[in-house]
Amino acid sequence: MPQLLLRGTGLGEVRAVLFDKDGTLSVSEPQLITLATARVLFCLERVAAPLRPSLQDLLERAYGLRQGGDSLCPAGTTAVASRDHNLISTATALVQAGLGWPEALALSEEVFAEADRADARRAASAASGGGATSATTEALVPMLERLQAAGVICAVISNDDIAGIEHFLASHGLGRFFAGFWSAEHRPRKPDPAAVHGLCAQLGLEARHCALIGDANSDLRMAVAAGIPHQLALGYTAAWSSPPPLAEPHPLIHHWSELQAGA
């Protein structure tokens, strides 16, 4: 099996590398800030004026919005949690602001649907040249080419939905590098270690023969719990304006040029 190397140091033999998407393969912070900001604004439009200041503070802290929406906490719910977990955190903030739970949940669902429609319009505008979508992280393609040349299988494990993963891979011409993916629509999903087992079964591999790269501690804990060797559960730090607070002593990748594969 090929050897995975980080800054020239061998980490172990691998047959596959499993990649998180948002914050690892993609620079998603600007897009996620836009989505979180839209959810805040649509919530504020639907509540009485006296509730708005406290609700705005609750939602911004829940979503991990920082500095008036200029940056996002890499460990916050918007960055890490699934859509339905973000919806529950929104409803919880609405309850703390004074709404009943049924009303808060219904309002959250309305807000998320409206934000999704706005996001779809932005995506359509970007596709026609009117705006930007999430970019790939720097030097991603050369790194994937190195892994492919060494015979390493690549796959995606993400809490995005199937359509989001497929759109990202297709829009950046990355589909040729990835043999499969595991999404928020698969069960179980991240961060359940069984999600790793499900993807490995799809690929015909064992977890002990894989590496996993992600930008969240939940990714790294999931990998080790699934049986991926500790030194092959790698953190990626370069896709956020503030580096994510990743646990040591997991190896950390600061640039894709640091990752190699060889005999």
| Residue 102 contacts residue 240 (beta carbons within 8 Å) | no
Confidence (pTM): 0.85
250's torsion region: left (phi>0), alpha (psi -120 to 50) or beta?
beta
Tell me, what's the pLDDT at 116? 87
* pLDDT at 131 (0 to 100): 39
DSSP letter at 159? S
Q: Provide CB contacts within 8 A for 201, sequence distance 6+.
A: none
181 three-class SS = strand
Superfamily of domain 3-28+135-262: HAD superfamily/HAD-like (3.40.50.1000)
The pLDDT score that the predictor gives to residue 119 is: 76
Q: CB of 242 within 8 A of CB of 29?
A: no
What's the mean per-residue pLDDT of the chain? 91
User: For residue 72, what are the β-bridge partners?
Assistant: 65
Q: Which residue has the tokens 């998407």?
A: 21
CA dist 39 to 70, 86, 117, 130, 210, Å? 15, 10, 11, 22, 37
pLDDT at 122: 57
72 in Cβ contact with 36 (< 8 Å): yes
Q: How far apart are CA 38 and CA 60, in angstroms?
A: 11
- pLDDT tens, residue by residue, 110-167: 999 999 888 766 555 444 443 345 678 789 999 999 999 999 999 999 988 898 899 9
For tokens 């950046």, name the residue: 172
**Side-chain half-sphere CA neighbours of 152 within 13 A:** 28
Cis previous bond, 30, omega within 30: no
Domain locations along the chain: 3-28+135-262, 29-127
Q: Is residue 176 packed enough to be buried (19+ CB in 10 Å), middle (13-18) or exposed (0-12)?
A: exposed
Spans of the chain below 50 pLDDT: 125-132
Supply the pLDDT for residue 138.
81
